[in-house]
Amino acid sequence: MDAMTWPERHPELSDGAIRLRPFVPADAPWVHDAGQDPEIQRWTRVPVPYTPADAEAFVGSFAPQQWRDRIGWHCAVVDVDGTSLGASALVVTDAEAAVAEAGYWIAPAHRGRGAATAALRLLTDWGFDALGLRRIELHVDPRNLASIAVGGRVGFTSEGVLRQRTRRLGEQRDVQMLAKVVAPGE
């Protein structure tokens, strides 16, 4: 039997302050705006420059296809009155071992209010409880202290730094590996 499962329907994930929902094509303009932010360009894997066509392809094609292929859920982070705040994702990187990687960004105007922390907590709980994941990873640049703080508050612990592990914007970079796991036997 497979270690993990994938649901037919998108989950309804909310903590009363924020909500995670599937992307729709109408999200492309605000996703494109956020993609111009230097911090999002510096710390995530968005294409640079980030064009309207990139955003349209991401929300209208890439994200729904990843869900259909049972690879990952790339979702919009919105507040409960519907204002769009950012994006989060949980992507299965090793289905047999039930391992996934999580990611997130929040538009500059909405940072510092706990949105990324809340989104990561909701996705992580869903990943363990509904998907049957055993391990969820965050791959973070060691200089990205805000992101490391988000992981820490959701119970991710640092397992060390993979030196010169990735390349981004012409720069060879270290990757800090943070992970949260289900203890053996649980």
Ligand X SMILES: CC(C)(COP(=O)(O)OP(=O)(O)OC[C@H]1O[C@@H](n2cnc3c(N)ncnc32)[C@H](O)[C@@H]1OP(=O)(O)O)[C@@H](O)C(=O)NCCC(=O)NCCS
* Residues in touch with ligand X (CB under 6 A): 39-40, 43-44, 104-106, 111-117, 140, 144-147, 149-150
Alpha carbon 171 to chain centroid distance? 22
Residue 5 or 17: the one with the smaller Cβ distance to ligand X is 17
Alpha helices in the chain (DSSP H): 28-34, 38-43, 52-57, 63-68, 115-129, 145-153
Q: Are 180 and 155 in contact (CB under 8 A)?
A: yes
Residue 21 or 111: the one with the smaller Cβ distance to ligand X is 111
Q: Which residue has the tokens 């302050």?
A: 17
Give me the phi and psi of 11, to 5 degrees please: -75, 160
Residue 128 or 156: the one with the smaller Cβ distance to ligand X is 156
Q: Are 182 and 128 in contact (CB under 8 A)?
A: yes
Residue 7 or 165: the one with the smaller Cβ distance to ligand X is 165
Q: Are 25 and 32 in contact (CB under 8 A)?
A: no
* Nearest-approach distance from CB 69 to ligand X, in angstroms: 23
* Nearest-approach distance from CB 89 to ligand X, in angstroms: 10
